[in-house]
Amino acid sequence: MILKKLVEYLDTSGVKYTILSHSLAYTALEVAHAVHVPGKEIAKTVIVWIDGTMTMVVLPGTNLINFTALREQLGAKGVDLASEQEFSSRFPECEVGAMPPFGNLFGMPVIAASLLADDTEIAFNAGSHHELVRMSYADYVDIVKPRIASFTLRKGTYVEDEPTRLF
């Protein structure tokens, strides 16, 4: 079921959005295939620790996080992937891995990949692995106010000294 808190927030903010239901899908690219949306328009959410602060990172489904670039862009000392155990209690109404990219609703900062601006719309999990919200990227930026940074790698890209991570 779509996250009630998210729908109320979108409605209160006056933005237009569409809810798409799909068969069970876990990865961003599986979701994209299920709803016939380009993978780069799927905004996937990854939870990381940045200098001890739990932070939501949002990037296109076709990309991975370059942790070195993220650390450098933010001027941070450390950036590490958070474990499901560490963050699942922050999203009690969401299925693990299906958190919508609205850190402001969950009391955490949001860093969004600059590549998301390449498309006029984004789509993202709405708290479950079978529902998606699609809305304009401009509206997303307007109501979430994420920090924008350039920190992604295209899947299959190799960068020396960057650990391979599937996020």
In this structure, what CATH number is given to the domain that contains residue 11?
A: 3.90.960.10
Specify the number of domains making up the chain.
Answer: 1
Distance CA 71, CA 58 (A): 15
Are the CB atoms for 152 and 115 separated by under 8 Å? yes
Is 65 within a domain?
yes
Is 59 within a domain?
yes
Digit-coded pLDDT (tens) for 139-156: 999 999 999 999 998 765
Is 161 within a domain?
no
Give the global pTM: 0.87
Structural domain boundaries, residue 8: 4-154
Is 116 within a domain?
yes
List C-alpha distances in Å: 83 to 47, 58, 97, 143, 156. 8, 16, 11, 27, 23
Is 162 within a domain?
no
Closest among 146, 6, 1, 167 to 84, alpha carbons compared = 167
Digit-coded pLDDT (tens) for 97-137: 899 999 999 999 999 999 999 999 999 998 888 889 999 99
